Amino acid sequence: VQLQASGGGLARPGRSRRLSCIATGTIFKVHRMGWFRQAPGKQLEQVATITSDGRANFTDSVKGRFTISRENAKNRIYPEMGSLKPEDTAIYYCNARVQEVRGWVPAGHWGQGTQVTVSS
């Protein structure tokens, strides 16, 4: 299983940025998917998650600014980061719990990080 993340880059404060993460490989079912981030000198932080039935959760610092959608047929999620702030600058990592074969226990997988820099 591989998670491919994209969409990082430079964004101006107050603007929006859309990330994408797709899971590929031997997959029976992708359960919860989400994004974590790590800012310089800080610990890894869970930003947003979404279950296979569309229930989403966000860390307090992004509530009301970030949304997340999911396309189950393509095992893909699209976090939309709005009203970006400089403190959103971080490396963003995609995470997913994937059940590779029916009956197997889902396992966690990580994608490569994508840098998001918010600066004027």
Residue-wise pLDDT for 72-83, tens only, equals: 999 999 989 999
Residue type, 115: Q
Please tell me the distance from the alpha carbon of residue 9 to that of residue 58, in angstroms, as a whole number.
21
Task: Count Cα atoms within 13 angstroms, Cβ side, for 5.
Answer: 24
Q: pLDDT band at residue 108, thresholds of 50, 70 and 90?
A: very high
Q: pLDDT band at residue 6, thresholds of 50, 70 and 90?
A: very high
pLDDT for the residue 87? 96
The first and second tokens of residue 34, run together, are 């989400």
pLDDT for the residue 14? 97
List, in sequence order, every residue forming a beta bridge with 114; answer none if it has no partner.
Answer: 92
Quick one: which of 73, 79, 91, 92 has its CA closest to 23?
73
